[in-house]
Structure 1
Amino acid sequence: MEHWTTEDLPVPDQFGYWRDAICDAFTPLFPRRPAAHATASSPGGMTGWVRAAPVGSIRLAEIASEPQLHLHGRSEVARTTEDVTFVNLVLEGTCVGRQAGRTCVVNAGDFALFDATRPFGLDYRSTWRVLSMKVPNGMLTPLITDSDGRTAVSFSPTNASAHVASAAMSAVWQRADRMERADVLATNSALLTLIASAAGSSENERTCDSRSLRAEMRAAINAYVAEQIRCGSVPAEQTARRFSISVRKLHQLYEETELSYARTVMKSRVEACAADLDSATRPTSMSTLAARWGFADLSHLNRVFRTQKGCLPSEYLSRRITSASS
C-alpha cells in the first residue's frame, strides 16, 4: 500500500508536497485553501495524508486533510490521461461537489460520482476524510442508466442500495492490499454492481432486483468475515453492527443459501487453515493451526476440516508435500 503524509515535512514544504501527492493518488487537481487557513505565518502549511492501493483495475485511496477546494478545470482535464470516474465516499466532514451544472452536498456516509474527463470541483469546508475509488469508465458507466446525469449527485445511506454500496466499499478497502486475484475479480464485479444499482436509481428510487442486492451484500459480508477471522471471533452482533443491520436481518440474508452465517464463518476458518497449509515450508503444528484460526481444540479442527475437505489437515499437508516433491 502506498502512503504519503505531510506530517514529517517542514511547514513551508507541506502544501507543495500535498498538491503533488494528492494528484498522484487522485487525478490532476488544483488545490486551493480558504483564506482563513492560509496564514502569513505558515503560507505553505497543510496537514494531510493519503493511503492508496490498487484492487485489480480499480484504485482505492483514503485521503484526509484540512478545509480546501479542489478544482479539476479545463487545464486539469487536458492533463488527465485516464478515462475514469471517481466514487467518493465521505467518511468525515462535508463536501460540496459540482459538475455539469449540478451541485451536491455530500455528508459523512454519503457518496457521489465525478467524471475525470469533464471539469468538476470539490469544496471541503471542514476537516475531512474520504474514501475515493477510481474506476475506468468502461467498467462502470455501461452499468448506469444516464451515467452523464448521475455525477455530482449525492447518494445517501437512506437509499438501501447506496447503504449497501458504501458498506461494501469500506469492507473492500480494509483488505485491499491482501486480496487474491480470484477474490479481486469477484469483488470488483459485485462492488460495481452495487454502485450502479444506487447511482442508477431515480430520486424516487427505482425498483431493483432484491435477490441480486442481497447476494451482493452477502459477498461484502463474506469478505469482511474472511478478514476479521484473523483477529479472532466474528460474532453475528459485530458483523451486523459493522453493516448497520439487525442480527435478525443478517441471518435472513443467509436463509436462501446453503450455508448459514455461522457455517459461513466456519468455512472461512477452514479455508484460512488450508491456505496456511498450502504455504507451509516446514512441518506445521496442527494444534497451533487450530488455535490460530479460532477452533476450540485440535479435535474440533479435525472434525470440521474433514467435513469440508474430506481429509484431516495433517493428511491435507502430507498430500501437498508429496505433490510438490513429485
Structure 2
Amino acid sequence: MLPVMALEPTTVMTTDGVPPEDAFGYWSDLICAEFVQLEARALDTRRFAGSIEHDSLDDLCFSVVSSRGQRVDRTRRLIAASREEVVLVSIQLAGTGSVRQAGRLARQSVGTMTFYDSTVPYTLEFDAPFRQLIVQVPRAMLPVGVLGGATAVGLAPHGPGGVVADFLLGLHRLRRTHPAAAAVLVPHAVGLVDGALRLAEGSGSWSAAAGSAHLRERVHRFVAAHAREADLDVNRVATACGISRRTLFRVLAEGGEGFTELVRRHRVRRAKELLRAHPGRLLSTVAHESGFGGEAQLHRAFRAVTGTTPGAYRGTNRQ
C-alpha cells in the first residue's frame, strides 16, 4: 500500500491585477525566483501578460508557463553570480519558440521536448504567446558529462522523445491527484530524462552498451546516496532504479562488480570519511552511521576493501 502524502496546493503566480506598466518587471522577478537568474525582454511591455503554475515532487519541480512574446537570456555573468545547477526539460504545449545553447539551435513546436543546462549560457525566444511545461531536474541526479551534446536539440513528439514527454506530462497530472503514486515514479522519471538526453546527444541512437552503462551509473548513484542505510538491499535498489533484480545483477557484472561489493565499498568510503572527520568517535558508532550491522562487520569490510583496520586507518590519519 502506498503511503498517504499531504498534497501541497499548486502555486499560481500571475501578472493579473498588476498595473500594465509594472507587469513585465513583476514577471521578470517571477521567472528569476521560479527558475534561475535571467535577463528578460518583452516584445511588447505595454500589453504583457504571463502566469506560472508551480508544483514540486521530491527533487523535481514542474512549472506550466503561459506568456506573451519575450526573449530570455542566461548569461555568463548571471551564472557566475549564482549557484543553481539544474537541467531544464521544456515540453511545448502551445505556440512556438527556440532554444540556443552551446552553438546549437532547437526550434520548439507543439509536442517538442528540449533540454537546456543552467550552468551554460542560453537564450530562449518566443515571438508570440506560448505555453510550456518545464521540469527542473537537479544536475546532481544525472550522470556527469551526459549533457555534452544534448542541450538545444529538439526531440520530436513522434518517437522515443514523445514517450518521455508523455510520461512527464502524465506524472505532472498524477502529482495533483495521487501524490504518493507520483513520488514512487520519480526515479523512473529521472531515468527516462537521462535516456532522452542520451538520445538527443546521439541524434536518436542509443546502443545496448550505452544503455547498460547508463543503468549501471544509475545504480551506483543510488547506492552511493543510500549506502549508510542499514536496510538497503537489492530489491530496494532495483525498484528505485526502475529495473528488475536480474537486470541489476547483469549490468553490475558487466562492470566487473557485484551488488554486495558495491554496497560494501560505499559503506567503507563513508566510514573512512567519519574516521577522518571525527577521530574520537567510537567504532561502534562509526559502524552504525556507515550502514554496518556492528563493529565486527565494519572491521571485516574495512580490511577487505583497504587492507588495513579501522583503528590503524584512524591512527595513520591522526599522525
- TM-score, normalization: structure 2? 0.59
Alignment partners' CA distance in 2, 1:211 and 1:94: 31
- Residue 114 of structure 2 corresponds to 112
Whether the aligned pair in 1 keeps the contact of 2:223 and 2:263 (CA below 8 Å) is: yes
- Residue 123 of structure 1 corresponds to 131
Aligned residues: 247
Compute the displacement of 1:132 (Å): 6.8
RMSD over equivalenced CA pairs, Å: 4.7
Alignment partners' CA distance in 1, 2:162 and 2:227: 27
Change (3 A) 1:233 1:246: same
Selected match of 1:270 from 257, 268, 271: 268
Aligned ranges 1:86-165 → 2 under 5 Å? 87-89=87-89, 95=93, 98-99=97-98, 101-105=107-111, 112-113=114-115, 116-120=122-126, 123-124=131-132, 130-131=136-137, 143=149, 150-151=153-154, 153=156, 156=161, 158=163
Alignment partners' CA distance in 2, 1:234 and 1:290: 15
- Residue 285 of structure 1 corresponds to 282
Q: Does 1:28 align with 2:25?
A: no
Residue deviations 1:285-321 (CA, integer Å, cap 9, x gap): 0011112222122111111110111111111101100
Whether the aligned pair in 2 keeps the contact of 1:104 and 1:153 (CA below 8 Å) is: no
Compute the displacement of 1:239 (Å): 1.7
AA matched with 1:22: E
Alignment partners' CA distance in 1, 2:55 and 2:240: 25
User: How many percent of aligned residue pairs carry the same amino acid?
Assistant: 16
Whether the aligned pair in 2 keeps the contact of 1:88 and 1:130 (CA below 8 Å) is: yes
Alignment partners' CA distance in 2, 1:152 and 1:32: 28
Whether the aligned pair in 1 keeps the contact of 2:155 and 2:162 (CA below 8 Å) is: no
Whether the aligned pair in 2 keeps the contact of 1:89 and 1:112 (CA below 8 Å) is: yes
Change (3 A) 1:233 1:275: same
Residue deviations 1:166-223 (CA, integer Å, cap 9, x gap): 959948xxxxxxxxxxxxxxxxxxx7xx665310455xx43x3432332233122212
Q: Secondary structure at the match of 2:314?
A: helix
Whether the aligned pair in 2 keeps the contact of 1:103 and 1:152 (CA below 8 Å) is: no
AA matched with 1:305: F
Alignment partners' CA distance in 1, 2:290 and 2:114: 38
Compute the displacement of 1:267 (Å): 0.9
Alignment partners' CA distance in 1, 2:147 and 2:307: 44
Change (3 A) 1:20 1:89: closer
Change (3 A) 1:87 1:226: closer
Change (3 A) 1:307 1:233: same
- Residue 235 of structure 1 corresponds to 233
Alignment partners' CA distance in 2, 1:243 and 1:117: 33
Compute the displacement of 1:81 (Å): 2.2
AA matched with 1:237: N
Alignment partners' CA distance in 1, 2:312 and 2:148: 48
Aligned ranges 1:38-57 → 2 under 5 Å? 48=54
- Residue 199 of structure 2 corresponds to 198
Change (3 A) 1:133 1:82: farther
Compute the displacement of 1:256 (Å): 1.6
- Residue 249 of structure 2 corresponds to 251
Selected match of 2:213 from 212, 215, 220: 215
Change (3 A) 1:209 1:297: same
Q: Does 1:302 align with 2:299?
A: yes
Alignment partners' CA distance in 1, 2:147 and 2:261: 37
Q: Does 1:311 align with 2:308?
A: yes
- Residue 75 of structure 2 corresponds to 81
AA matched with 1:123: R
Change (3 A) 1:124 1:314: same
Residue deviations 1:70-102 (CA, integer Å, cap 9, x gap): 56734x35xx42499x85347xx9855743654
Residue deviations 1:135-186 (CA, integer Å, cap 9, x gap): xxxx888635xx76x3364554857xx99xx959948xxxxxxxxxxxxxxx
AA matched with 1:199: A
Change (3 A) 1:68 1:292: same
Compute the displacement of 1:47 (Å): 6.9
Alignment partners' CA distance in 2, 1:220 and 1:71: 39
Whether the aligned pair in 2 keeps the contact of 1:28 and 1:72 (CA below 8 Å) is: no
Structure 2's unaligned 5+ residue stretches are: 1-10, 43-47, 80-85, 99-105, 169-185
Whether the aligned pair in 2 keeps the contact of 1:168 and 1:220 (CA below 8 Å) is: no
Q: Secondary structure at the match of 1:117?
A: strand
AA matched with 1:105: G
